[in-house]
Amino acid sequence: MPPKYHIHVGSVPNRFQSITRSGVIAWEEGCLKCARCVKKDCVYKVYEKRGIDSRQMLESLDSACMDCFRCVQNCPNKLIQKGLNPAYKALGDSYWTPEIISGLWYQSEAGRIPVSGGGYGGAFSGAGFDAMWTDMSEIVRPTRDGIHGREYISTTIDIGRKVMALQFDEAGALTITPPPLVEIPLPIIFDILPWSPPREGINLAFLKGARSLGTFAVIRQSDFIPAMEEYIPNIILYIDGNLSDLDKSIIKGLRMAEIPYSNEAINAQKALKEINPGLVVIIRMTLNPHASEDVFRLTAEGAEAIHLCADEFGLEKADAPLFIKERIKEIHLRLVERGVRDQITLIAGGGIAMAEHMAKQIICGADMLSVDIALLVAMECRVCRRCKAGIACPVELESVDPLWGSGRIRNLMAGWQNQLLEILGAMGIREVRRLRGEMGRAMFFEDLEKEIFADMGKRG
Amino acid sequence: MDQKSAGLNITIFFCQQIDPDQDTNRRALEKELGKRIRFFPLPCSGRIDPLHLMGALESGADKVYLVTCPEGACRYQEGNLRARKRIAYTQGLIEEIGLERERLELIITPAGNPVTVDELARGLLAREALIGPSPIRG
C-alpha cells in the first residue's frame, strides 16, 4: 500500500476577530456588587480576558463566550443579556449564509470539523444541495476503526482522457500512446475567484496551498506574474488571451492548462499539445441548458477534461437557470447513456460552499470539484462583496500574507477531506472515484415528493 | 462649513433596530468617504461601553455619534436610557484629558419616522462643524 495521504493541520489564528452570532450585553448600572459576581464564576473566564479590537470594535468577550448562559441566568439583577449580533446577520447572502461562513472560518483556524452538539435544528429540506440527502442505509461494509484507521480510503482522482482499451501489434507492442493523466490526491482544484480585492497575494496563497496539498490552482493568464514561476507544477494556466503572448518555456513546464470553450476549442487543445505533448488540457465551459450536448460532442472530438462552471450561487447561465447538481446529473447521465462517460474528466465548480456539497456533487456525476469563494472565506472574507463595488475590504484581503493564507486553506481542505472520508467510510466505499454518479446513495427531494404525493387523491 | 467638507473623521455607533438593511444602505457612503466614515451596528445601543467610545477616538475619529432607537422602543427595555448615561460618563472622561465633550454625541431617533442609516449619516455630515480635527490624530 502507498503511504496514506494525510493533511497535517495546525493552528492558524485569525488576523481579525471573527464576527460571532451573538454578543454579551452587560449593564453596569444597577449592579448590586454581590460578594461573588457571576462574571467571576464564568467557567471559560471570558470576563477576565476581556479586550477590544478598536479597528472593528469587536470584543474578545464575544468570541470567547461559549453560550452557556450561566451568567445570564444567575445575575440576581438580570443585568447580563445576550443579543443577536447585527454584523453576523449581515454576513454573506441567502446562499453564502452566516452559518456557512462561520463554519468555514472555524475549520480554517485549526482544521477541525464543526460539530453541532444540539442536533440539527434547520429545515428538513431546502433549495439547491439541501434538496438532496446522502443515504447510508445500504451500508455494505463500514470502516472497522474509523476514517484514519487501518483501512485505506482513497480520495485520489485522475484528470485527463482515459483509453477504454489498449491495442497491441502482432509483436505484442503497444500501438497507441496513452494520453497524459495527472493524478491528484484530493478531488478539488482551486478556481479563479469571481470577485476579490487585488489578488496577487491571494493567488500566491492559493498556489502555496495547492502545492502543499498536491493539487492545482487555476490562474488566469493575465494574473500570471514572475513570482509564480516556482509554482508552475501546481498551476492550471487559464489561457484566455493570445497564446503567442506566452513564453513557450512556461507552457512546456505546465502539467495542465485550461482554455475557454468555443467551436475552436479542440484545435486550441491540439495547438497546446504541439508545444507540450504531456499537457492535460481542460476546456472551461459556462454551465448552460445546452451543456450536455456540447460536452458529448467535445468528448467525441477528443476532449480530455471539461470544467463546467456555474455562478457563485451554483446556477447555470439561462433565463430560468437550473442548479448545478441538476445540470451535472443530466450531463453525466447523457454521457453514460452514450457509453462515453469514462473517457473524460468532468470538473464541476460554482456554489461549492461546504464539504457535503463536494460529496453531493460527485454523487450527481462530477469527477471532481473546483472551489473558489470558500477559499477566500478561509482567509476571513465576509462575502460582503464590497471589493466588487470598489469599497475597501473590511479584512484587508489585498495585503494577505501568502504563508498565512495557505495555512488557512490547508486547514479548511483538511476539514473537508475528513468529512468526505466520513461519508465514504459510512457508505462502505473505499475510493472517491467509486462515488461518482452513485445516485442510489442519495435521496432527492423531488423524487421523494413525486413518489409519495404524485398518486395521492387519484380515484380508482 | 459642514462636517463633510471640513474633512472630519466620523464614527457612528447605532442600534440595529434603526435600519434592518444597514449593511447595504451604508455602502454608498463608505465608497464616497472611504476610511473617513466608520459604522458599527450594535445589538442594542445599551451595549456601548466607554471603552468603545474611547477606542473610536483613539483610532482617529474626530467625532463619534451614538444613535439609539426611539425612547420606549428598546427591545431590551432600558438600553437606550443606559446609552445616555454611558455617553455622559465618557464625555466627563474625555474632558478630563483635555478633549471637547462635543466629540461624543448622542442622537435619539424620533419615533414614527424611520430613517435608513445612510440618510441618518448624511444628515449628521451636513451639520455645522463645531469642532476641528482631533489632536489625537496628530
Which chain A residue shows the shortest CA-CA distance from B59?
A: A54
Q: CA B110 → CA A117, B11, B17, B83, B128, distances in Å?
A: 43, 20, 13, 16, 21
Count of positions (residues) in chain B: 138
pLDDT at residue A139 in the model: 63
pLDDT digits (tens, 9 = 90+) for A77-107: 988 988 888 889 999 999 999 999 999 999 9
Q: Thinking of the domain A22-90, which architecture would CATH place it in?
A: 2-Layer Sandwich (3.30)
pLDDT at residue A126 in the model: 87
Chain B CB contacts of A389 below 8 Å: 27, 31
- Calpha distance A298→A292 (Å, rounded): 10
CB atoms within 10 A of CB A450: 11
Q: Give me the percent of chain A exceeding a pLDDT of 90.
A: 68
Q: A68-72 long-range CB contacts below 8 Å, 24 or more apart?
A: A68/A43, A68/A44, A70/A38, A70/A41, A70/A42, A70/A43, A71/A24, A71/A26, A71/A38, A71/A39, A71/A41, A71/A42, A71/A47
Please give the backbone phi and psi of residue A371, each rounded to the nearest 5 degrees, phi first. -120, 140
Q: Thinking of the domain A157-449, which architecture would CATH place it in?
A: Alpha-Beta Barrel (3.20)
- Calpha distance A66→A86 (Å, rounded): 18
Determine, for residues B56 and A391 on separate chains, whether the beta-carbon distance falls below 8 Å: no
pLDDT at residue A198 in the model: 93
Of the listed ranges A19-28, A190-199, A433-442, the one predicted with least confidence:
A19-28
- Residue A287's closest CA among A313, A317, A260? A317
- Judged against a pLDDT cut of 70, whether residue A460 lies above it is answered with no
- Listed as ranges, residues in chain B with pLDDT below 50 are none
- Residue A123's closest CA among A423, A359, A427, A445? A445
Amino acid identity of residue A455, one-letter, is D
Give the closest of A52, A83, A390 to B55, CB-based.
Answer: A52
Its ipTM equals 0.85
Q: Where are the alpha helices (DSSP H) in B1-138?
A: 22-25, 27-33, 50-58, 79-96, 117-125
β-bridge partners, A444? A132
Determine the distance in angstroms separating the CA of A59 from the nearest CA of chain B, rounded to an integer: 9
Cell numbers placing A300: 467525441
DSSP string, A309-346: E--TTSB-SSSSPPBHHHHHHHHHHHHHHTT-GGGSEE
pLDDT at residue A403 in the model: 97
Higher pLDDT, A5 or A401: A401
Q: Could you tell me the strand order of the sheet in which B63-68 lies?
A: B37-42, B10-15, B63-68, B104-108
Three-state DSSP state, A367: coil
pLDDT at residue A103 in the model: 94
Determine, for residues A27 and B40 on separate chains, whether the beta-carbon distance falls below 8 Å: no
Torsion of CA A413, A417, A419, A422, to 10 degrees: -170
Whether B114 has its CB under 8 Å from any CB of chain A: the answer is: no
pLDDT at residue A113 in the model: 87
Cell numbers placing A180: 497524459
- Calpha distance A341→A299 (Å, rounded): 9
Pairing of strands A22-26, A80-84: antiparallel
Give the closest of A25, A27, A29 to B43, CB-based.
Answer: A25
Domain ranges in chain A with CATH number 3.30.70? 22-90
pLDDT at residue A162 in the model: 94
Structural domains of chain B, ranges and CATH numbers in brackets: 10-137 (3.40.50)
- Calpha distance A281→A269 (Å, rounded): 6
Backbone dihedral region for residue B52 (phi beyond 0: left; psi -120 to 50: alpha; all else: beta): alpha
Higher pLDDT, A110 or A235: A235
Summarize chain B as % helix, strand, coil (round to 5).
45, 20, 35
Of the listed ranges A16-30, A167-181, A237-251, the one predicted with least confidence:
A16-30
**Which of B27, B38, B47, B84 is the best substitution to test chain A (most A C-beta atoms within 10 A)?**
B47
Whether B59 has its CB under 8 Å from any CB of chain A: the answer is: yes
- Judged against a pLDDT cut of 90, whether residue A17 lies above it is answered with no
Determine the distance in angstroms separating the CA of A98 from the nearest CA of chain B, rounded to an integer: 14
Chain A CB contacts of B51 below 8 Å: 52
Q: Where are the alpha helices (DSSP H) in A239-285?
A: 248-253, 265-275
Q: CA A96 → CA A114, A140, B125, distances in Å?
A: 17, 35, 34
Q: How far apart are the first and last CA of chain B?
A: 22
- Calpha distance A322→A311 (Å, rounded): 11
Determine the distance in angstroms separating the CA of A193 from the nearest CA of chain B, rounded to an integer: 22
- Calpha distance A45→A101 (Å, rounded): 26
pLDDT at residue A116 in the model: 67
Domain ranges in chain A with CATH number 3.20.20.70? 157-449
Global confidence as pTM: 0.91
pLDDT at residue A202 in the model: 97
Which chain B residue shows the shortest CA-CA distance from A25?
A: B47
Which chain A residue shows the shortest CA-CA distance from B39?
A: A56
